[in-house]
């Protein structure tokens, strides 16, 4: 369903009893709500939670911001290391307000907030902006954004910042290559189901310029690392130890910066949610949610 939240239109999937504790799932860069796999969502529903997913702004079926124009990513990447100012079209904080707006519109007073990758950064911003709205925080395969942390492998970073082709068949090959690069060594994805999921996403919505604007928002969110020390929400940090996009040290850094946070590293997991890795994530996540109901 499409709702108005934080003054924009946002596509939402709301499952489970409305009187159950809510779990708000926030997806990563350029990814749609359907990227949360059923084998991750269903165990949460089976455990008695209300599960809320949504498309972040500028992707999927949520509102696009094309009037802001395409971002100058090469220029930003050149200026930011020199400490020169870069103005993003919107901020990660704005995206956190979108998430809070979803809770407002659905009349959810408090929720467990779970984010992956960029979604973890948004979740951190939600905890900073409105700590009274969170039952717990879970940051998966994400980062504090602190300077000096290890970066993605060059091949992976190159694939990430290369715009996908407009032709659907070529876009399928582009994303297949990217997802194989960032995948989990111990949990290799079957090629055909992966390609079917990519095609489903391309058919639902394909808006790469929105992904570029999201990426610029992430690159410009440099002050979050120091702010994380203010978080008092019960926090779980989950991270693959073989993540080639957001290295494991980024999860370790996030855990160190949030008081009382727990870190669980997943051996053999990269930067995706294959069934085997998702099962291990849930082994840590479900007790964390139950302990903070």
Q: 23-82: per-residue pLDDT in tens?
A: 999 999 999 999 999 999 999 999 999 999 999 999 999 999 999 999 988 888 888 887
Q: Output the pTM of the full model.
A: 0.97
| pLDDT value of residue 286 | 98
pLDDT classification of 84: cutoffs 50, 70, 90: confident
**Cα(290)–Cα(136) distance, rounded to whole angstroms?**
10
Among 112, 125, 116, 101, smallest CA distance to 30 is for 116
pLDDT for the residue 82: 78
Contact 214, 117 (CB under 8 A): no
Buried b / exposed e over 149-167, threshold 16 CB at 10 Å, is beebeeebeebbeeebeee
Q: C-alpha dihedral over 253, 256, 260, 265, to 10 degrees?
A: 40
Q: Which CATH number describes the domain made up of 2-150+208-291? A: 3.40.50.1820
pLDDT digits (tens, 9 = 90+) for 88-118: 999 999 999 999 999 999 999 999 999 999 9
Q: 34-38, 158-162, 273-277: which range is least confident on average?
A: 158-162
């Amino acid at each position: 369903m499409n709702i108005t939240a934080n003054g924009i239109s946002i596509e939402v999937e709301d499952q489970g009893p409305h009187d159950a504790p809510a779990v708000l799932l926030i997806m990563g860069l350029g990814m749609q709500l359907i990227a949360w796999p059923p084998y991750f969502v269903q165990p949460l529903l089976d455990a008695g939670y209300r599960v809320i997913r949504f498309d972040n702004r500028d992707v999927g079926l949520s509102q696009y911001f094309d009037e802001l124009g395409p971002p100058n990513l090469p220029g930003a990447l050149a200026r930011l290391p020199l400490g020169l100012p870069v103005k993003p079209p919107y901020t990660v904080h704005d995206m956190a307000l979108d998430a809070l707006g979803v809770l407002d519109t659905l009349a959810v007073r408090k929720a467990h907030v779970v984010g992956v990758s960029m979604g973890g950064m948004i979740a951190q911003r939600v905890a900073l902006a409105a700590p009274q709205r969170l039952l717990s925080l879970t940051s998966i395969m994400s980062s504090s954004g602190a300077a000096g942390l290890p970066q993605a492998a060059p091949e992976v970073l190159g694939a990430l910042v290369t715009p996908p082709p407009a032709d659907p068949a070529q876009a399928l090959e582009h994303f297949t290559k990217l997802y194989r690069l960032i995948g989990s060594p111990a949990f290799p994805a079957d090629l055909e189901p992966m390609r079917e999921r990519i095609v489903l996403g391309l058919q639902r919505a394909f808006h790469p310029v929105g992904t570029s604007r999201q990426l610029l928002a992430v690159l410009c969110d440099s002050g979050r690392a120091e702010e994380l020390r203010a978080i008092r929400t019960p926090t779980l940090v989950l991270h693959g130890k073989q993540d080639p996009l957001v290295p494991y040290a980024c999860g370790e850094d996030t855990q160190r910066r949030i008081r009382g946070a727990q870190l669980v590293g997943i051996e053999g997991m990269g930067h995706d949610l294959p069934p085997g890795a998702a099962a291990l994530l849930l082994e840590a996540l479900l007790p964390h949610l139950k302990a903070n109901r």
